[in-house]
Amino acid sequence: MMRAAGLVVWQAHQAAARILKPGVTTGELNLAYRETFERCGATSLFLNYGGPPPFPAETCISINEEVVHGIPGSRVVQTGDLVSLDTGCRLDGWCGDAAVTHAVGPISATHQKLLDVTLGTLNLAIELMASCTLWSQVAREMEALVRDSGFWVVEEMVGHGIGRDLHEPPQVPNYFSEALAGSDDFDLRPGVVLAIEPMVNAGTKKLVCLDDDWTVVTEDGKASAHFEHTIAITSDGPQKLTGPPATDELAELPQWLQDPDQWVIW
Say what the pLDDT of residue 181 is.
86
DSSP string, 35-99: HHHHHHT-EESSTT-SSSSPP-SSEEEEETTEEE-PPPSSPBP-TT-EEEEEEEEEETTEEEEEE
Q: What are phi and psi of 2, to 5 degrees?
A: -70, -30
Say what the pLDDT of residue 237 is.
96
Q: Smallest Cα–Cα separation from 85: which of 167, 24, 13?
A: 13
Per the CB < 8 A criterion, the answer to whether 126 and 198 are in contact is no
Q: Find the domain containing 104 and state its range.
A: 2-262
Q: What does the alpha-carbon distance between residue 27 and residue 25 come to, in Å, rounded to a whole number?
A: 5
Instruction: Please report, as a single letter, which amino acid is at residue 246.
Output: A
Each of the 266 residues of the chain gets a pLDDT tens digit; together they read 999 999 999 999 999 999 999 999 999 999 999 999 999 999 999 999 998 999 999 999 999 999 999 999 999 999 999 999 999 999 999 999 999 999 999 999 999 999 999 999 999 999 999 999 999 999 999 999 999 999 999 999 999 999 999 999 999 999 999 889 899 999 999 999 999 999 999 999 999 999 999 999 999 999 999 999 999 999 999 999 999 999 999 999 999 999 999 999 99
* CATH number (domain holding residue 84): 3.90.230.10
Say what the pLDDT of residue 179 is.
87
Domain total for the chain?
A: 1
Note the pTM of the prediction, 2 decimals: 0.97
Q: Where are the beta strands (DSSP E) in the chain?
A: 43-44, 59-63, 66-68, 82-91, 94-103, 152-153, 159-161, 168-172, 193-196, 199-201, 207-209, 216-218, 224-226, 229-234, 237-240
